[in-house]
């Protein structure tokens, strides 16, 4: 059963169909976790999976498992999957590609009437993006035991709606959490960076992922009148926040090669043009492939915030809300991906994932590896995100062959 091929047109059509759900004017997608648009995407996925004889189950945090039986129901399943939730100005392929590549594997096995020895499952993880509910990768994190069910369901969005309430509102709160017997988990994803395209490679053999830390920082000064208040008497929280934003960027540049440092959200209170800002709230996203450097970034951030506060007569609070270390994937599965790329005749290279993925948490509970394909100019988390049908099909062919390599084909 060497070197089977999926149906590239059908994969592309499914991606374009899914992209209509939450589609934006600029050609991207806004399908935030646990919104009605997320429900519509989940419903469509379920319909497609049931059409090829799969059963779909849902766990207590809304993770979905589409299962195709194998000859031996007692063998642990070979799994693949990703996420259907997107960023507010997200792209058509981030997450959806991994889910629909898994669906295309199910469809191809169905077409070819191939019975695998082990069951095959395709997973849709809840809230991978961490945009509406922070942190990211909550569904796979709860599944892997990183977050408790209680804390996951209790998380709230900006409007104060809880994760649990939103899950019930869309009708996707199932039962059970974790522990599904899994022989191997593969995840196909666009690279979301420029390396594969720059090196003219079709497949990224992902050996692991860099570590991440997320922070929420509050700087508090004193609201006052923008007119009569002398400059020397001001406690301007926004001036302090501006120093932190600049300093975070400087930490990223200082810890090269490898560091990434981003302030993605900055809120100013009371945000009135003739009031000196009394409070600022901002987020920091740090990443590095080396955990010791990530710790050094943490140290420098804490010193930076303390100094900015001291200079401005401000008080401050730093809360680290999330972290995970640099995560290696399973060498024998990484080899299976590399073999799949070689068999397919695809130009390939080893690569570390700069982005977080559900595979990072799956690696804590099962053998895990990822397959990357290039995206145009490495742009992602942007509505112009793009990839070619050929590259997406190549990644899906590698996925199919790597999964069969592990699941075995009943003779």
Measured distance CA(312)–CA(28) in Å, rounded = 41
The listed partner (ligand HGY, Mn ion, none) that binds 356, CB under 5 to 8 Å by sort, is ligand HGY
Judge whether 193 and 381 are in contact, CB under 8 Å. no
Q: Which stretch binds ligand HGY (CB under 6 A): 9-17, 46-54, 125-133, 227-235?
A: 125-133
Contacts of 365 (CB under 8 A, 6+ apart): 143, 144, 145, 178, 182
* Least gap, CB of 283 to ligand HGY (angstroms): 12
Identify the residue among 59, 85, 129, 391 touching ligand HGY (CB under 6 A). 129
Cβ burial 253-283 (10 Å sphere, 16+ → b, else e): eebeebbbbebeeeebbeeeeeebbbbbbbb
Q: Which does 208 bind (CB under 5 to 8 A by kind): Mn ion, ligand HGY, none?
A: none
Shortest gap between Cβ of 129 and ligand HGY (angstroms)? Answer: 5
Residue 240 or 356 with smaller CB distance to ligand HGY? 356
Q: CB under 5 to 8 A by kind: which of Mn ion, ligand HGY, none does 136 bind?
A: ligand HGY
For residues 285 and 117, give the distance between their C-alpha atoms in angstroms, rounded to a whole number.
43
Ranges within 239-268 binding ligand HGY (CB under 6 A): none
Closest to ligand HGY by CB, 129 vs 385, is 129
Strands (E), 169-232: 182-190, 203-209, 211-220, 224-225
Give the Cα separation of 71 and 378 in Å (integer).
41
Rounded Cα distance, 111 and 108, in Å: 5
Candidates 76, 91, 130, 221; binder of ligand HGY (CB under 6 A) is 130
Helix (H) or strand (E) holding 287: strand 279-288
Residue 65 or 322 with smaller CB distance to ligand HGY: 322
Q: Applying CB under 5 A, what is the total number of residues that bind Mn ion?
A: 2
x-or-dash pattern for ligand HGY, window 340-369, by CB under 6 A? ---------------xx-------------
Chosen from Mn ion, ligand HGY, none, partner binding at 98 (C-beta under 5 to 8 Å by type):
none
Sign, CA dihedral 149-151-153-157, equals negative
Judged by CB under 6 A, the residue of 128, 157, 197, 391 near ligand HGY is 128
Q: How far apart are CA 385 and CA 376, in angstroms?
A: 7
Binding mask 61-100 for Mn ion (x = CB under 5 A): ---------------------------------xx-----
Whether the link from the prior residue into 270 is cis, omega within 30° of 0, is yes
Query: Number of residues in contact with ligand HGY, rule: CB under 6 A?
Result: 6
Are 260 and 288 spatial neighbours (Cβ–Cβ below 8 Å)?
A: yes
Residue closer to Mn ion by CB (options 157, 298) is 157
The contact pattern for Mn ion, residues 344-373, with x = CB under 5 A and - = no contact, is: ------------------------------
Q: Which is nearer to ligand HGY, 129 or 391 (CB)?
A: 129
In sequence order, the 6+-apart residues with CB closer than 8 A to the CB of 299 are: none
- Structure tokens given for 246: 């600049």
* Residue 70 contacts residue 117 (beta carbons within 8 Å): yes
Query: Residue 204 touches which of ligand HGY, Mn ion, none (CB < 5 to 8 A by kind)?
Result: none
What does the block give as tokens for 378? 């490495």
Examine residue 85 and tell whether it contacts ligand HGY (CB under 6 A): no
**Residue 95 binds which entry of ligand HGY, Mn ion, none, with Cβ cut-offs from 5 to 8 Å by kind?**
Mn ion
**Which residue ranges make up the site for ligand HGY (CB under 6 A)?**
128-130, 136, 355-356
């Amino acid at each position: 059963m060497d070197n089977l091929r999926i149906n590239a047109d059908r994969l592309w059509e499914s991606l374009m169909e899914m992209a209509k759900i939450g589609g934006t004017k600029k050609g991207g997608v806004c399908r935030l976790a646990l919104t009605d648009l997320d429900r519509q995407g989940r419903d469509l996925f379920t319909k497609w999976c049931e059409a090829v004889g799969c059963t779909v189950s849902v766990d207590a945090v809304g993770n979905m498992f589409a299962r195709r039986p194998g000859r031996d129901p007692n063998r642990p399943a070979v799994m693949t999957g990703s996420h259907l939730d997107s960023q507010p100005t997200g792209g058509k392929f981030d997450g959806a590609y991994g889910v629909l590549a898994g669906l295309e594997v199910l469809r191809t096995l169905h077409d070819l009437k191939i019975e695998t020895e082990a069951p095959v499952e395709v997973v849709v993880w809840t809230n991978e993006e961490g945009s509406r509910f922070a942190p990211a990768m909550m569904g796979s994190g709860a599944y892997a035991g990183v977050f408790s069910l209680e804390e996951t369901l209790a998380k709230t969005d900006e409007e104060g709606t809880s994760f649990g309430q939103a899950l019930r509102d869309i009708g996707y709160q199932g039962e059970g959490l974790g522990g599904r017997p899994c022989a191997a988990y593969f995840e196909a994803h666009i690279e979301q960076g420029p390396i594969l395209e720059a090196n003219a490679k079709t497949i990224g053999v992902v050996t692991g992922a860099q570590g991440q830390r997320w922070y929420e920082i509050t700087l508090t000064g004193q609201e006052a009148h923008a007119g009569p208040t002398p400059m020397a008497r001001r406690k301007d929280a926004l001036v302090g926040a501006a120093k932190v934003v600049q300093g975070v960027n400087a930490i990223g540049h200082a810890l090269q090669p490898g560091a990434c440092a981003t302030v993605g959200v900055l809120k100013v209170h009371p945000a009135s043009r003739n009031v000196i800002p009394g409070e600022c709230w901002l987020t920091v996203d740090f990443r590095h492939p080396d955990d010791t450097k990530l710790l050094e970034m943490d140290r420098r951030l804490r010193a930076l915030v303390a100094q900015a506060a001291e200079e401005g007569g401000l008080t401050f609070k730093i809360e680290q809300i999330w972290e995970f270390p640099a995560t290696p994937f399973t060498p024998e599965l990484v080899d299976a991906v590399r073999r799949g790329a070689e068999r397919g005749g695809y130009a390939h290279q080893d690569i570390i994932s700069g982005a977080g993925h559900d595979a990072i948490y799956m690696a804590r509970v099962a053998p895990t590896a990822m397959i990357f394909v290039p995206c145009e100019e490495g742009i992602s988390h942007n509505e112009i995100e793009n990839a070619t049908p050929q590259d997406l099909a190549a990644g899906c062919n590698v996925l199919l062959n790597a999964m069969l390599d592990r699941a075995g084909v009943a003779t």
